[in-house]
Amino acid sequence: MPSPTVEPGVLYLLPVWLGEQGGPGSMPEVNAETAKSITLYFAEHERTARHMLRRLVPAVDLPSLGSHRLAKDTDHTTVSEYIGMIAQGRNGAIVSEAGMPGIADPGAVLVREAHSKGIRVVPLIGPSSLLLALAASGLNGQHFTFHGYLPRDPRERQQALRGIESDIQRMGGAHLFIETPYRNDALLADILRTCAGATMLCIACDLTQHQEKVCTRSVAAWKTKTPGLKDRPTVFILGR
């Protein structure tokens, strides 16, 4: 007698609120309800996932859940093993450090493997600092590029900024990028040193937090009053 076919589970993308002032109240109720059916979690840092789950589903039985590290250095064999668990009928979820999994986040590699194995991928609604910043910037929301982190070497970073600025002049798109918060001030200094005065720069800090600030001004205007951005989660957008 043939063995019954196992129905594969689902890979959910479970968002995390932005910053310590966020919480379950900023998420749709369906996220908490969905989390109750999930037995596998994949996150860059297990502590982040557990902290989020305790707040999202207070009654969650953490010891019964499978928690697995998913980082930029996770090898393909391990990723395949993770998808194999879901293929055997368990629902899984990727949890980001903040915001949407798979966006400026190593979760994309697991999502890609899920698609290759025919596993259903379901993104749940939650905040994305990139889209919030772009929407509030007044810059081109029809044509934009996200660069992730620019090079750390100052000369290479300035070269990347010149390339971005050249593309802005040719195509008119918006260009988004981020930096490790403690290096924000160095990045801003390079932007102001490298880019033309007429180029527009949006600085979006602490999105969804009480101290949130989003401001778009020309590079020339920013030079007259340069903010301190150290240790503040920030999205930078260049455009025209």
What pLDDT is recorded for position 21? 81
pLDDT of residue 19: 84
Closest CA to 85 of 100, 105, 65: 65
Is the pLDDT reported for residue 4 higher than 70? Answer: no
- Is 159 among the domain residues? yes
Q: Which H or E element spans position 235? A: strand 234-239
Which of 90, 123, 156 is at the close of a domain? 123
Q: Is residue 175 part of a domain?
A: yes
Q: Decide if 107 is inside a domain.
A: yes
23 or 90: which leads in pLDDT: 90
Q: Per-residue pLDDT averaged across 157-163, rounded?
A: 97
- Model confidence over 73-128: pLDDT tens digits? 999 999 999 999 999 999 999 998 888 998 888 889 999 999 999 999 999 999 99
What are the residues facing 218 on neighbouring strands? Answer: 200
5 in a structural domain: no
Task: Identify each DSSP E strand in 47-155 by its residue range.
Answer: 66-69, 92-95, 120-123, 144-149
> Which residues, 6 or more positions from 237, have their beta carbon under 8 angstroms from its beta carbon?
133, 134, 137, 139, 174, 175, 176, 201, 202, 204, 216
> Does 228 reside within a domain?
yes
Residue 58 sits in the same domain as residue 18 = yes
Give the residue numbers spanning the domain of 148: 129-239
Q: What percent of the chain has pLDDT over 70?
A: 98
> Do 14 and 99 sit in the same domain of this protein?
yes
* pTM of this prediction exceeds 0.85: yes
Residue 2 has pLDDT above 50, yes or no: no
Residue 202 main-chain phi, psi, to 5 deg: -100, 130
> What's the CATH code of the domain at 97?
3.40.1010.10
For residue 27, is it within any domain? yes
Percent of the chain that is helix, strand, coil (3-state, to 5) = 40, 20, 40
103 and 137 fall within a common domain: no
Residues 58 and 89 in one domain: yes
For residue 147, what is the domain's CATH number? 3.30.950.10
- Strand 144-149 and strand 174-178: the pairing is parallel
Rounded distance between C-alpha atoms, residue 107 and residue 94, angstroms: 6
Same domain? 93 vs 162: no
* Per-residue pLDDT at 1: 41
Residue 2 lies in a domain: no
Cα 21 to the center of its chain, rounded Å? 17
* Number of domains the chain contains: 2
Residues 35 and 95 placed together within one structural domain of the fold: yes
Q: What is the mean pLDDT of residues 154-175?
A: 96
Same domain, 109 and 184: no
Residue 3 lies in a domain: no
- Residue 201's H or E segment, with its range, is strand 200-205
DSSP string, 208-221: TSTT-EEEEEEHHH
Considering only CA atoms, give the Rg of the chain. Answer: 20
133, 209: one domain = yes
Over the chain, what is the mean pLDDT? Answer: 92
2 Cα distance to chain centroid: 44
**What is d(CA 35, CA 32) in angstroms, rounded to the nearest whole number?**
5
Please tell me the total number of residues recorded for the chain in this structure.
240
One domain, residues 90 and 160: no
**Mean pLDDT of all residues in 199-222:** 97
Say what percent of the chain tops pLDDT 90: 74
Q: How much is the average pLDDT of 123-149? A: 96
Task: Using the 3D structure, point to which of 96, 123, 150 is the last residue of a domain.
Answer: 123
- Residues 159 and 178 both lie in one domain: yes
User: Is pLDDT of 132 > 70?
Assistant: yes
Last residue of a domain, one of 73, 101, 123: 123
